[in-house]
Structure 1
Amino acid sequence: MGLTVPTVQSGTTNTGNSTDGTSKTAVDYQSFLRLLVAEMKNQDPTKPMDSTQYVAQLASFSQVEQSVQINSKLNDLLTSQTLSQADALIGRTITSADGTVTGEVASVKLYSDGIIATLKDGSQIVIGPGITVQPTPVEA
């Protein structure tokens, strides 16, 4: 009786709420546990599982658990990096990639898929490739 390990996936949302990605991972992790327990309960007592297969399945279980933990730590690291990047933009002058919008950043809003800077004049710029960031000139 073979064991199929579910794929661990992490989703993103545009709402800024990361619980959807972590709950999808938790569902896959819980599915793996249920599958392993069900397989052990339903094995034929006259032909018990080979100890080699059992050890291989336990190793797979450990690997899935470690993957979930690594993904969680990587998400934390990316969030921290994004917060640092956003903080560094406040008070700086940025110009959009097409050069049409320029101004001093008043605030930033973080989303799971990027950062949007709101300028003092109320306009918004998506932070991405091609934007220019400069120190804000000191007015005399």
Structure 2
Amino acid sequence: MAVDGVAAATAAPTTSSATGSTASKAAAKASVDYDSFLKLLIAQMKNQDPTDPMDASAQIAQLATFSQVEQSIQMNSNLETLITGNALTNASSYIGKTITSADEKTSGIVASVRVYTDTMVATTTEGKEVPIVVGVRVGTKPATETSDS
């Protein structure tokens, strides 16, 4: 037997955000899923067979399990925020230092760093881009040379 409230409660909402982070999307989805779970649980309770009702301990176990999943999602969201902050701190430490690409074809002084979800790209003062990957060399800014005139 289909129940309209259950079908509507399990439908995924359609939202879009050009600037939303993965962490906030996961947290929002967890909230929607938790609300959907509660609606589904209420629908089960309303439509259960009175001669064979669902065990209360089974309902509590379902709720506790889902609560643990929700907390794990929130923890992952918090960890992702922490990792993003760490990546920004690391990126700022490259500015003003010399960088040489892993293939040693590009080098220069880092003017800026762009942070992506899976990598960072340094831009030198000459406008050259150097992906920050394994094998990249980073050093202190070389001393400026002075000539005797």
Q: Same fold (TM over 0.5)?
A: yes
2:44 to 36, 42, 45: 42
Contact 2:91 2:113 in 1 (8 A): yes
The AA in structure 2 aligned to 1:57 is Q
Structure with higher Rg: it is 2
Say yes or no: does 1:116 pair with 2:118: no
Structure 1: state its 5+ residue gaps: 1-14
Q: Deviations over 1:8-46 (max 9, x none)?
A: xxxxxxx8x453553255235413431342233233151
Gaps of 5+ in 2: 1-17
1:30 aligns with 2:32: yes
Aligned AA (1:84) = T
Q: Which TM-score applies when normalising by structure 2? A: 0.74
Scaled by the length of structure 1, what TM-score is found? 0.78
Partners of 1:31 and 1:137 in 2: CA distance: 55
What amino acid is aligned across from residue 66 of structure 1 in structure 2? Q
Higher mean Cα deviation, 85-94 or 64-73?
Answer: 64-73
Tell me the CA shift for residue 69 of structure 1: 1.5
1:92 deviates by 0.4
For 1:60, give the aligned amino acid. T
Count of aligned pairs between the two proteins: 125
Identity of aligned residues (%): 37
Moved beyond 6 Å, runs of 4+: none
Asked whether the equivalents of residues 27 and 73 of structure 2 are also in contact (C-alpha less than 8 Å), the reply is yes
Higher relative CO (Cα under 8 Å, sequence separation at least 6) belongs to: 1
Residues 70-119 of structure 1: CA deviation (Å, up to 9, x unaligned) = 11111111011101110110000010000000100001111122211100
Question: Are 2:23 and 2:80, in contact at CA under 8 Å, matched by a contact in 1?
Answer: no
Closer/same/farther in 2, CA of residues 82 and 20 from structure 1, 3 Å limit: closer
